[in-house]
Copies of this chain bind each other. A is one copy, B any other.
Amino acid sequence: MDYTTIIGLVSAALTTGAYVPQAVKTWRTRRTGDLSLSMFSMVFLGTVGWLAYGLLKDDLPIILANTMTLGTSFVILFFKVKEVQEGRRNR
């Protein structure tokens, strides 16, 4: 495997894995006031789109990465929407 591919794989692991600590933090604290509703709505919708793209192209790395982000971004968005609905903080 050449250096370029390794850089790509490490980068993919970082930008995909990044949502894990945020999901854990949000799950634990239930606090989402500083998170942007627009950001996590766009990430979630975009991830659904990427997953469809991966399935249509039968591209395993895209399918796996976006299945993972679908879960983590759903957790974050769930608590954000819940907080907005309860009106505890502004969006």
Which A residues fall within an 8 A CB radius of B?
3-4, 7-8, 10-15, 17-22, 24-26, 29, 31-36, 38-40, 42-43, 45-47, 49-50, 52-53, 56-57
CB distance B36 to A34 under 8 Å?
no
* Chain A interface SS verdict (over half): helix
How far is A30 from B15 in the complex, measured between Cα atoms in Å? 23
Copies of the chain in the assembly: 2
Instruction: Evaluate contact between B34 and A14: CB separation under 8 angstroms.
Output: no
A56 to chain B, nearest CB (A): 5
A53 touches B11 (CB 8 A): yes
Expressed in whole angstroms, the minimum distance between the Cβ of A62 and any Cβ of chain B is 9
17 contacts between A and B (CB under 8 A): A4-B53, A4-B57, A7-B56, A10-B49, A11-B47, A11-B49, A14-B42, A14-B43, A14-B49, A17-B42, A19-B39, A20-B39, A29-B34, A31-B33, A32-B34, A33-B33, A34-B35
